[in-house]
Amino acid sequence: MKEFSPERIQELKDKVQKTKDVYAEMFKRYKPEEIRVIWSAGKDSTVALWCLLEYCKETNTPPVPTAFTIDEFDVFPPKLMPCSKSMPSNGIFA
């Protein structure tokens, strides 16, 4: 596992806190049932969703807003993908 310097750890903690500050403002403006959070399953949206869940736990904010994902079934032709040699001929990752 990679070791982080104390400065880097503090920088990351500050970023998490800024994100939680944004969520605090969001909850001032909207009711939890009015909020929807999109999750793409990528690392950025996963961290944002984690921060939201942590914020809700820390502030005892029930219910946690609804998170959803949209699967558009975008399939790119194998010629356009740099890893096309490892893709099945139907263009869908195995």
pLDDT digits (tens, 9 = 90+) for 30-63: 988 888 888 888 899 899 889 999 999 999 987 7
Stated as kind and residue range, the H or E segment containing 59 is helix 43-59
Q: What is the DSSP string of 31-47?
A: -GGG-EEE--SSHHHHH
Rounded average pLDDT over 61-85: 64
Opening angle at CA 18, ends 17 and 23, nearest 5:
90
- Under the banding of pLDDT at 50, 70 and 90, the label for residue 27 is very high
Determine the Cα–Cα distance for residues 93 and 78; give it in Å rounded to an integer.
10
